[in-house]
């Protein structure tokens, strides 16, 4: 069995997103259609926080498994982008707290993790374990949901602005940044995966990793929907 | 049993260095006394390279185990210092290659790892595994050999300049940088350990971690000495 040609492998990666990316989840569709109550939006922000919080954790795990310095020099930007820096502060995690405030959640509520559902926790913890224990190639491939993220982020900003006028627009900085950052991250990770997966087994592992990551994002929404419901 | 008071705990940490830091190893004493042959210096640089190469790997592992963003913002500097950055290049690893060239080792010789002795590999791999699997507090404590490093680095620069005139002084940039960086790293890690180790068990784990790290450095010199000997 020969490896799928690069263009066909890329098509297969994109097909995973077309089938399984969480933009198709009922809770997500309802969010973008303006059908969520304030409590449901807050529930989503509080649960998604647990994912945000663990992004630098899984990225540090992958960083330590990368095969060379040149790849680390690229990957470390993800951690700096999410954590911010000692000199300048900032970072995606800080922007997520700003979003939380804009929807009426205190920093303390987020920090306490009291709204984080068990299903969210299991999914995110599985993602961290995956990053820690898998070879770097499928671990990097699991990040390729970023291929699908920029469109979703743009649509989300529009939807939140239009459908939830009670949310302070200043709180949406996280999503504004992700439009650019997700595209840049995918741009650097995609060639590693396309060139690194040289046989059918490695390509299959990368596709499975991307499906797994879609399942993680989907399960967070399942848990959120189960706890807070959809609509009034 | 009450925890040792902070000053006494610090004294215990310093005592580990006084007893076990690798500046007391016969190979090290011989290096600083100018008794090593060129082949022995090269053997040391080639073996120590395997340690250098794995510094960002163990630091990424610790980064992913740190309990919060503020600590990550501090710790990530270690990885940036060793790997350099995408924008500006540089970094300790690059400086180690410059040292290797200055003692007559090609980049290819270093990359190939053909001179890396099994004992070196076992010791360094054990250090990486320790960083990956231990809680962050003892893992950070294992880095505290940096308390003892600045003095050694200064002495090493002097000794190499005075005793090995055939080494190009430009190759010593790594050690010049470590005088400052090791002090800065220890300055940030030490308070975490002193304040984080709140009971006798945690203090004992930190002291054991520091002893373990000293053993790693010592074993690299044992393996180097066994392979290349001391003096002509």
Q: Which range has highest mean pLDDT (A4-8, A189-193, B2-6)?
A: A189-193
Angle at B102 between CA B96 and CA B105, to 5 degrees: 75
Judge whether residue A1 has pLDDT over 70.
no
Question: Are the C-beta atoms of residues A55 and A174 closer than 8 Å to each other?
Answer: no
B60 contacts A64? CB cut-off 8 A: yes
Chain B within 8 Å of A86 (Cβ-Cβ)?
Answer: yes
* CA dihedral for B155, B161, B167, B171, sign (positive or negative): positive
Q: How far is B59 from chain A (nearest CA, A)?
A: 8
Q: Which residues of A touch B91 (CB under 8 A)?
A: 69
Closest partner CB to B56 (pick from A72, A77, A132): A72
Residue A6's pLDDT band, with cuts at 50, 70 and 90, is low
- Chain A with chain B: Cβ pairs closer than 8 A: 66
Q: Which residues of A touch B86 (CB under 8 A)?
A: 73-74, 77
B28 Cβ neighbours under 8 A, 6+ residues apart = B22, B221
pLDDT of res. A104? 97
Start-end of H helices in A66-148? 69-83, 92-102, 107-112, 118-133, 136-141
B8-62 pLDDT, tens digit per residue, is 999 999 999 999 999 999 999 999 999 999 999 999 999 999 999 999 999 999 9
Judge whether residue B5 has pLDDT over 80.
no
A80 contacts B69? CB cut-off 8 A: no
Q: How far is A85 from chain B (nearest CA, A)?
A: 6
The pair of structure tokens assigned to B11 is 């004294």
A23-36 pLDDT, tens digit per residue, is 999 999 999 999 99
The pair of structure tokens assigned to A96 is 């997520």
pLDDT of res. A3? 73
The pair of structure tokens assigned to B19 is 């007893």
- At residue B5, φ and ψ (nearest 5 deg) are -65, 155
pLDDT of res. B174? 95
Residue B1's pLDDT band, with cuts at 50, 70 and 90, is low
Judge whether residue A146 has pLDDT over 70.
yes
Q: Which residues of A touch B113 (CB under 8 A)?
A: none
SS3 A85: strand
A173 Cβ neighbours under 8 A, 6+ residues apart = A95, A98, A99
Q: What is the ipTM of this complex?
A: 0.93
Residue A4's pLDDT band, with cuts at 50, 70 and 90, is confident
Chain A within 8 Å of B77 (Cβ-Cβ)?
Answer: yes
A57 contacts B61? CB cut-off 8 A: no
Q: How far is A161 from chain B (nearest CA, A)?
A: 29
Question: Are the C-beta atoms of residues B147 and B13 closer than 8 Å to each other?
Answer: yes
B93-152 pLDDT, tens digit per residue, is 999 999 999 999 999 999 999 999 999 999 999 999 999 999 999 999 999 999 999 889
pLDDT of res. A7? 75
pLDDT of res. B146? 94
CATH placement of domain A6-228:
1.20.910.10
Q: Give pairs for B100-109: CB < 8 Å, separation 24+.
A: B100/B45, B100/B46, B100/B49, B100/B171, B101/B168, B101/B171, B102/B167, B102/B168, B102/B169, B102/B170, B102/B171, B102/B172, B103/B38, B103/B41, B103/B42, B103/B45, B103/B167, B103/B171, B104/B38, B104/B42, B105/B42, B105/B45, B105/B46, B109/B46
A74 contacts B56? CB cut-off 8 A: no
Judge whether residue A150 has pLDDT over 80.
yes
Mean pLDDT of A41-52: 98
CA distance A55 to A62: 11
B12 Cβ neighbours under 8 A, 6+ residues apart = B4, B203, B207
B186-209 pLDDT, tens digit per residue, is 999 999 999 999 999 999 999 999
Residue A96's pLDDT band, with cuts at 50, 70 and 90, is very high
pLDDT of res. A70? 97
Q: Which residues of A touch B64 (CB under 8 A)?
A: 56-61, 63-64, 132
Q: Which residues of A touch B57 (CB under 8 A)?
A: 64
Q: Which residues of B touch A80 (CB under 8 A)?
A: 76
A69 contacts B93? CB cut-off 8 A: yes
Cα B87 to Cα A73, A74, B90, B91: the distances in Å are 9, 10, 9, 12
Q: Give pairs for B9-15: CB < 8 Å, separation 24+.
A: B9/B194, B9/B197, B9/B203, B10/B190, B10/B194, B12/B203, B12/B207, B13/B141, B13/B144, B13/B147, B13/B193, B13/B206, B13/B207, B13/B210, B14/B147
Between positions 138 and 197 of B, the ones with CB within 8 A of A are: none
Q: Which residues of B touch A60 (CB under 8 A)?
A: 60-61, 63-64, 72
SS3 A5: coil
B60 contacts A63? CB cut-off 8 A: yes
CATH placement of domain B6-225:
1.20.910.10
Domain boundaries, chain A: 6-228
Short-list A43, A30, A174, CA closest to A114:
A43
Judge whether residue A38 has pLDDT over 70.
yes
């Amino acid at each position: 069995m020969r490896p799928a040609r690069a263009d066909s492998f890329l098509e297969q990666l994109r097909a995973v997103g077309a089938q399984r990316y969480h933009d198709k989840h009922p809770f997500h569709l309802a969010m973008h259609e303006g059908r969520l109550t304030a409590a449901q939006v807050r529930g989503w922000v509080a649960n998604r926080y647990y994912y945000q919080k663990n992004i630098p954790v899984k990225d540090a795990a992958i960083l330590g498994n990368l095969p060379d310095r040149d790849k680390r020099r690229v990957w470390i930007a993800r951690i700096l982008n999410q954590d911010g820096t000692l000199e300048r502060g900032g970072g995606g995690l800080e922007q997520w707290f700003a979003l939380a405030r804009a929807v009426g959640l205190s920093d303390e509520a987020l920090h306490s993790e009291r709204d984080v559902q068990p299903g969210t926790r299991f999914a995110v913890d599985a993602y961290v374990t995956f990053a820690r224990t898998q070879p770097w190639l499928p671990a990097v491939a699991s990040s390729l949901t970023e291929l699908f993220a920029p469109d979703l982020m743009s649509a989300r900003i529009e939807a939140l602005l239009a459908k939830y006028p009670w949310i302070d627009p200043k709180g949406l900085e996280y999503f504004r940044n992700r439009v650019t950052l997700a595209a840049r991250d995918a741009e650097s990770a995609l060639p590693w995966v396309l060139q690194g997966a040289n046989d059918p087994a490695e390509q299959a592992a990368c596709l499975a990793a991307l499906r797994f990551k879609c399942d993680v994002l989907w399960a967070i929404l399942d848990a959120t929907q189960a706890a807070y419901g959809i609509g009034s």
